[in-house]
Structure 1
Amino acid sequence: MSQIKEIVRTTCPRDCYDACGIVVLKRQGEIVRVKGDPEHPVSRGTLCGKCAIAYNGAWRDRTKRLTQPLKRIGAKGKGQFAPISWEEALELIAVKLKTILDRNKSDYPPHTAKGNPILHTHYTGTCSLIAGAFPLRFFNRIGATEVDPDTVCNKAGHAALEMIFGDSINGFDPRTAKDAACILVWGANPSACAPHAHKHWLRQAPGKVIVIDPIRHPTAAQADLHLQPFPGSDGALAFALLHVIQRQGLINEQFLANYTLGWEEILPLLPQCTPEWGEAVTGVRANLIEKAAKIYASGPSLLWLGQGLQRQLTGGNVFRACSLLPIFTGNIGKPGAGFLYLNGTENRGIDSDYIAAPHLNQGESASISHMDFAQRLEDSVNSQVLFCWNNNIVASSPEQKRLRKVLAREDLFTVSVELFATDTTDYADIVLPAASFLEFDDLVISYFNYSISAQVKATEPPGEALPNQEIFRRLAAKMGFTEPELFESDGVMITNLLKQTGTVLNFANLSKIGTVNHTAEPVIQFAQLKFPTPSGKIEIVGEHFEKAGLSRAPQPFADARPTNGKLRVLSPASPWVMNSSYGNDAKIGKRLGEAEVLLNPQEAQLKGLEIGNTVILSNDTGELTLKVALSEDVPCGVALVYKGRWPKLDPNCANVNVLNPGKKTDLAESSCVHSVEVEITPINTITSRTKPSARNNILKTALCLRHVAFEDLGSFEPILKSYGYQVTYLEVGTNNLRAIDPLETDLLVVLGGPIGVYEVNSYPFLIDEVALLEKRLAADLPTLGLCLGSQLMAKALGAKVYPSGRKEIGWSPLILTEAGKQSPIAELAPELTPVLHWHGDTFDLPKGAIHLAASSEFQQQAFAWGKNCLGLQFHAEVTRQGLENWFIGHTAEINSTPNLSVTKLRADTQTWGATLEKQGAVFFKRWLESIEEGTPDEKTSLL
């Protein structure tokens, strides 16, 4: 096979905090693999699971892509099209636009009382700077009415922070976490939406991590403290935390007096907001409120405000209340302190107006909320043309049933710019094929890290597909426009944008590096303690809030809970799709499995429901048929349904947005999708599979080969179950291993035992065990070998396994290789924990394996094979309680080993056991997540 001849370094531009570095491997001009960039400071050599699958699946499969312009030939919604040329497609669009624009040239752009009847909707299908915003130049030129993209996502939070601080897009620099004693993550799920921040940044932060979220997602599960309020009660919880902070004397009155307005009006509200009151209102135990408040207020502390937090009826008040924490503790303007909602392009020097060119709009700008979108489309006078680009409105907008109906209007001329044939393109009159991020140059600005990244063209677009910006350049030319801004090239724009950032790098140099930080040192948020508000101070209260429809001061209240047996629906991001992106990938579809609603077991029992029952979730807006799954990660009173499924790929022909009535938050006409309420009605009682965790979307199996009855998975077993694995032990000495299909189970774990791999005469089952492993490892399926298990893996891979002539029994640290430091084994680094050793045999490193760790006594302590297989000579799974059984079962070996005794082992276990249980769990979760992502930690195996 010919070798890789070319590596292209680029950046993922998806709607994600991480903005991961990517390397594209090419052979003879063709892409053979898209994978994580090992030199990228955030992704560190891996892609998240969804991108690893999709970028090597549907996004590289040209048969799945739209490759030429299409014209509708059937009924709207049927997806029936005929191919046409670019010339014809642009001409049809231009004629329609000119007809509208020419109707009243004296009123240009044409506006009715509700704005221009030409509408466009867009969002973050790509977050690269040019492809994501250059088309706005065209829409500004024709004065089109924008469906405000932020109203479907995060506008209430932006509006609240801008009113308080004067700014919502210049948050803390994540690099300042090194100085933070606490990181509070409120209403965000990094494990799904910022997987590398979850995997690396939070885990390696020196301070305590507190998560506040109604769902016990993986980030919450790994946190030092998790507070689980009922949805809608976050504002009340913030005031309960402030009560404790005041009582403990931790309010920074000097900071308040110098840099804020209105803080005195908050103080009278605090005495009533005791932790006990907070527990009654939010469901969070009073002692946890006490503990969280003291940790945060002791500081310095960072506050990460998630976008999901403000998608509630009173999202504006919630953000105002939560913002009081950094204000009242003075956690602003110093290292390790601050808050973050989103980090915008401006804090890298980018002028967003340069990209969008709003000056091209010759009339008054007009926009509507996504919450009013379906209603607006029912008005044929005020909605005559609709452009959809960078989003899939049928999957992501509210009032899904109503929206479908109005999109079917024959007199609504609809243009869709897309990569794939989505539910939205099915309603278009003209479909224009767009290029993917792998097919053109651009820049990516992370909305979390203070970075600047190159998006580099790695291949040609399929067929006649074009980048967004080129499509609208050609349409502008067809319209006869002459403004130079409408035709500025990508190369010129990239050069100008890089100059704005202040970097000395040109695009060619940046392309070689991939990603650079905007500043050498971490940026301190509001370092000068000057705020871009009218007063120059933080404005906690004021008339401007009342003018916006809020109370003068933030209030300590919670939204009313559902009544009459209704449930609050939460529809967060799934780990396997990005909003609606990737939903058409076949492998992603398998990961998603059948559409489900996750309920707390107590809630299900109360409603007479069991796992696998089919139920209907319904309200006045719509209904959705789902299977019941149970998870203690979900609180009572809540129905968890992941967002992002493609309606046309689901038996419902709908997703969770069919239940969203499009109600608005208390601020900025934004979405309050997490305040949707439904009734749940069973329609049968057919039981299928189990579902123990909200962390996964399909049931998985873990088969454990056991050699002695008293050795088991230890601390790993509850983790496996929490990640949705059904654990089965198989006793190798008494079961027929030849009857086992080595490829069937999702995870195979081979445990230890006091025998040698070479003792086949005494233990003939070892022959079958090695044969089973040979097939398993050849298929590169997730496999973990512990002690004897690692020796069996080495034997199956052709390596020599032999007695060493000495024993290594007891507690001592590992010595990590450079590869080990970049792998999950890094969680067992010597500065974090020793591990337990218990062996006398050793082995040579198998050919092709990656050496991860040694000890002071033995060279081979850990190795990786392929993408999903790991051999550990040592024990990271043991628990203090479980080792008491070892001390009995292995008593003969202990007593025959010089300088060893049960007393010494027990004493060392009491010293180190708890530490290993904690770090072993962190290691095992990280390894599980790496195999579930569909890609290993590949830093050492780029090629």
Structure 2
Amino acid sequence: MALGELRVLGACPLDCPDTCSWVVTVRDGEAVGMRGNPDHPYTRGALCVKVNRYLEHAGAADRVLHPMRRVGPKGSGRFERISWDEALEEISVRLRAIVEEHGGEAIWPYLGTGTLGYLQGCEGVAGRRFWNVLGASRHFLNICSTAGNTGLQRTNGTPGGMDPETFALSRLILLWGTNTLTSGHHLWKFVQEARAAGAHVVAIDPIRTRTAEQADEHLQIRPGTDAALALGLLNVVLSEGAEDRDHLAERTNGWEDFRAEILKYPPERVAEITGLPASDVRALGVRLAHTRPTGIRATMGIQRHAGGGAAMRAIAAIPGVTGDWRHPGGGVAYSTSGHFHLNIDTRDDLLAAPVRQLTMTRLAEGLDESVKCLWVYAANPMGSTPDQNRVRERLLREDLFTVVMEQFPTDTVDYADIVLPATMQVEHTDLHAGYGHMYLVWNEPAVEPPGECLSTTETFRRLARHMGLTEPSLYDSDLELAEQLLASGHPSLDGITVDRLRKEGWVRLNVARPFAPFADGFPTPSGRLEFGSGPAYVPPHTALAGEGPYPLALLTPASHTFLNTVFGNNPELLRRSKGPRVVVNPEDAARRGLSDGDRARVFNANGGFEAVVEVSDRVRPGVVASTKGHWRKLSAGGSTVNAVVDERDADMGRGAVYHDNLVEVAPCAPCDGREPATMSEST
């Protein structure tokens, strides 16, 4: 290291299971380099293609650096610079008036997954104490994983599962509805270790992704039929007599009823539902029956459909039947977040009375006349929530006071009345816990914030002071908040302190290595895995594909170059993305007169978006795919994939249904210059 250089340890804040530890090189107060921390056992020195450009992104010319007030019509993105004092005074006056006239519930604090920090972001529900003092409505952050979380909670007692590092010990690996090489690529090292020891890797995915291309076997399943496949595989396990009867007797409840459900799904029936050959279902079932340990990686995309909760319950049942939870390297890895027992004290005792809950993915529905203030932070709902056109209509309300805390002029910023400049990760303090590994990771600020940017915690401290609020906990420092988080008393946190984290950068939870979380029982009231009752397979909405005016099932997977809408304005990553594209199977393309490279419109009754056609068998007939993350105002036609996504709930947890929508695709007519909100599905 050169003389005068500093090496600052930090953590990636983005919505990815890997939560990388990084090292920032600082010279003369400027961050001049960033790399993955080579000492971190999961990061192992590597960052992703997106985060490799993080310092460039933080210094981008379009960074929001000062508070701003709207001067043009809503949606125009026209603002004037104001001081922090002016911004805080205007906000204070408006919030007091709203509370006095309409009550605190007229305020909707809309927090997203732009950062997963326990101090600055959604994991610690940043700002909740402030909103509780005002009596604001409760925000239900359901955009990502709630259907799967609920299904796993009902089955295992926690969404927490395998330590992903133990996939190195697996002998059969099912990568189920997860594109590991795009969304969480650090797991692949452990998959490779397992392969070197003879493991067989199967990708189960409707799309032939980067990961599916690298697997030993790819089962191109119909979207949303995963529960049926899980039941079919267990049907074969039973026919092989390979169920772990001791584990079933000692560690599970409801086996006889669930066994009867399994028997309803022989491979032939499963083939009709999933579109897979019955021989493939049977072959994988036989392999599953006789391979211990089997590790299953299933991430959030698998549960974003009408039967998402049931799908995760059925998948979680597999190691309950095979007994794989007994073995390190066996079980299901969905999220490790359930293993982090931090003390998240949002001070709900500060509420004077119970308040209503407003649902994140029901923004268009929820933004009725009863909501007088929408406060958006770590979120870009204009770009990320369902039913984009209807959301835009609601954001155009002149009586809706909208404040957006942001780093860049996103699609949502254009509808704000006040914009507050937000820090980025290298500029503030935070504490992170990976939901794809077992480490707490500390983020030390490496440089001073540019312009007048403030962290989330400091913004709320200043606003509370400006409003004259006297509750002492509103003014806790970042280090005090971190100390409180670690003070849960849970044994997994023994010996983990803020001082230790700041010095070492990361610390593994106090759990066994290798970690077999349910080898001795489950954190359910009974101490057993609960197979449960009710339908084990809930068909997706797209089971109707091929019928009606919208015959194609649309999937909206993660992009390799964006993370949700983060980096959607980065020029180089935008170039690499090649703009919005829609993958269409050759059979479907031929029926519609579409060729590779054509511009097409993808639409349904909600609206539509434009994309360049990629004709490929990477998707099945009847299925089309277009990645999420593109910005509306940077897209041809002024809409993105979320213009066609329904505001509809999954079967459990009010989960979102981003992968469960029916559309049609047609050659695109020349652009007629109309505003996106007025476009109909017929254009």
Aligned to 1:93: 91
Q: CA deviation at 1:369?
A: 2.2
Q: CA deviation at 1:636?
A: 1.4
Spell out the pairing of 1:180-579 with structure 2 (5 A cutoff): 180-198=170-188, 200-205=189-194, 206=197, 207-297=199-289, 298-344=291-337, 347-352=339-344, 354=345, 356-377=346-367, 379-380=368-369, 382-500=370-488, 502=493, 504=495, 506-519=497-510, 521-533=513-525, 535-542=526-533, 552-555=534-537, 560-564=543-547, 566-579=551-564
For the pair 1:156 / 2:147, whether they are aligned, the reply is yes
Distance in 1 of aligned mates of 2:228 and 2:126: 42
* Residues 147 and 625 of structure 1, relative CA distance in 2, 3 Å threshold: same
Q: Is the 8 A contact 2:164 2:333 kept in 1?
A: no
Distance in 1 of aligned mates of 2:140 and 2:232: 35
Aligned to 1:119: 108
* Residues 413 and 275 of structure 1, relative CA distance in 2, 3 Å threshold: same
CA RMSD of superposed structures (Å):
2.2
* Residues 269 and 509 of structure 1, relative CA distance in 2, 3 Å threshold: closer
Q: CA deviation at 1:442?
A: 1.5
Aligned to 2:596: 611
Which one-letter code corresponds to 2:147 in the other structure? A
Distance in 1 of aligned mates of 2:133 and 2:255: 45
Distance in 2 of aligned mates of 1:227 and 1:210: 8
- The structure with more radius of gyration: 1
Q: Is the 8 A contact 1:269 1:556 kept in 2?
A: no
For the pair 1:177 / 2:167, whether they are aligned, the reply is yes
For the pair 1:35 / 2:35, whether they are aligned, the reply is yes
Q: Is the 8 A contact 1:394 1:424 kept in 2?
A: yes
Q: CA deviation at 1:25?
A: 1.8
* Residues 443 and 217 of structure 1, relative CA distance in 2, 3 Å threshold: same
Q: CA deviation at 1:498?
A: 4.1
Distance in 2 of aligned mates of 1:469 and 1:604: 51
Q: Is the 8 A contact 1:569 1:675 kept in 2?
A: yes
Aligned to 2:676: none
Which one-letter code corresponds to 2:454 in the other structure? L
Distance in 1 of aligned mates of 2:310 and 2:279: 25
The residue matched to 2:301 in structure 1 has which SS? Answer: helix
Q: Is the 8 A contact 2:596 2:614 kept in 1?
A: yes
What are the superposed Cα offsets for residues 728-762 of structure 1, whole Å, 9 maximum, x if unpaired? xxxxxxxxxxxxxxxxxxxxxxxxxxxxxxxxxxx
Q: CA deviation at 1:31?
A: 1.7
Q: Is the 8 A contact 1:614 1:683 kept in 2?
A: yes
* Residues 425 and 220 of structure 1, relative CA distance in 2, 3 Å threshold: same
Distance in 2 of aligned mates of 1:9 and 1:532: 38
Which one-letter code corresponds to 1:677 in the other structure? L
Which one-letter code corresponds to 2:405 in the other structure? V
* Residues 637 and 182 of structure 1, relative CA distance in 2, 3 Å threshold: same
Q: CA deviation at 1:466?
A: 0.5
Q: Bigger CA drift: 552-561 or 141-150?
A: 552-561
Distance in 2 of aligned mates of 1:189 and 1:427: 34
Spell out the pairing of 1:627-642 with structure 2 (5 A cutoff): 627-642=612-627
The structure showing larger relative contact order (alpha-carbon pairs under 8 Å, at least 6 residues apart) is 2
Which one-letter code corresponds to 1:17 in the other structure? P
Q: CA deviation at 1:499?
A: 4.9
The residue matched to 2:629 in structure 1 has which SS? Answer: coil
* Residues 596 and 510 of structure 1, relative CA distance in 2, 3 Å threshold: same
Distance in 2 of aligned mates of 1:89 and 1:183: 53
For the pair 1:67 / 2:65, whether they are aligned, the reply is yes
Q: Is the 8 A contact 1:147 1:373 kept in 2?
A: no
Q: CA deviation at 1:217?
A: 0.9
Which one-letter code corresponds to 1:134 in the other structure? A
Aligned to 2:630: 645
Distance in 1 of aligned mates of 2:313 and 2:522: 19
What are the superposed Cα offsets for residues 266-309 of structure 1, whole Å, 9 maximum, x if unpaired? 22333442223222221222232223223333322222222111
Q: CA deviation at 1:35?
A: 2.2
Distance in 2 of aligned mates of 1:71 and 1:557: 47
Q: CA deviation at 1:173?
A: 1.3
Distance in 2 of aligned mates of 1:365 and 1:225: 50
Aligned residue pairs total: 656
Which one-letter code corresponds to 1:129 in the other structure? Y
Distance in 2 of aligned mates of 1:211 and 1:339: 14
Distance in 1 of aligned mates of 2:151 and 2:544: 24
Distance in 2 of aligned mates of 1:654 and 1:3: 50
* Residues 103 and 610 of structure 1, relative CA distance in 2, 3 Å threshold: closer
Q: CA deviation at 1:505?
A: 5.4
The residue matched to 2:523 in structure 1 has which SS? Answer: coil
The residue matched to 1:536 in structure 2 has which SS? Answer: coil
Q: Is the 8 A contact 1:369 1:670 kept in 2?
A: no
Q: Is the 8 A contact 2:359 2:366 kept in 1?
A: no
Q: CA deviation at 1:209?
A: 2.3
What are the superposed Cα offsets for residues 609-658 of structure 1, whole Å, 9 maximum, x if unpaired? 21112211111000112211122222111111000111111122221001
Q: Is the 8 A contact 1:239 1:270 kept in 2?
A: yes
How high is the TM-score relative to the length of structure 1? 0.67
Spell out the pairing of 1:867-906 with structure 2 (5 A cutoff): none
Distance in 2 of aligned mates of 1:210 and 1:646: 34
For the pair 1:669 / 2:668, whether they are aligned, the reply is no
Q: Is the 8 A contact 2:162 2:331 kept in 1?
A: yes
Spell out the pairing of 1:761-780 with structure 2 (5 A cutoff): none
Spell out the pairing of 1:596-607 with structure 2 (5 A cutoff): 596-607=581-592
Q: CA deviation at 1:532?
A: 2.2
Distance in 1 of aligned mates of 2:613 and 2:504: 48
Which one-letter code corresponds to 1:532 in the other structure? T
For the pair 1:620 / 2:620, whether they are aligned, the reply is no
Q: CA deviation at 1:145?
A: 1.7
Q: CA deviation at 1:42?
A: 2.1
Which one-letter code corresponds to 2:34 in the other structure? V
What are the superposed Cα offsets for residues 388-438 of structure 1, whole Å, 9 maximum, x if unpaired? 001100000111111111101110001101111111111111111111110
Q: Is the 8 A contact 2:168 2:190 kept in 1?
A: no
The residue matched to 2:182 in structure 1 has which SS? Answer: helix
Q: Is the 8 A contact 1:235 1:558 kept in 2?
A: no
Distance in 2 of aligned mates of 1:25 and 1:320: 45
Q: CA deviation at 1:174?
A: 1.9
Aligned to 2:680: none
* Residues 142 and 684 of structure 1, relative CA distance in 2, 3 Å threshold: closer
* Residues 462 and 570 of structure 1, relative CA distance in 2, 3 Å threshold: same
- Consecutive unaligned residues of structure 1, counting only runs of 5 or more, are 105-109, 543-551, 686-943
Q: CA deviation at 1:2?
A: 7.6
Q: CA deviation at 1:196?
A: 1.7
Q: CA deviation at 1:4?
A: 6.7
Q: Is the 8 A contact 1:371 1:671 kept in 2?
A: yes
Distance in 2 of aligned mates of 1:254 and 1:6: 56
What are the superposed Cα offsets for residues 815-863 of structure 1, whole Å, 9 maximum, x if unpaired? xxxxxxxxxxxxxxxxxxxxxxxxxxxxxxxxxxxxxxxxxxxxxxxxx
Q: Bigger CA drift: 72-81 or 273-282?
A: 273-282
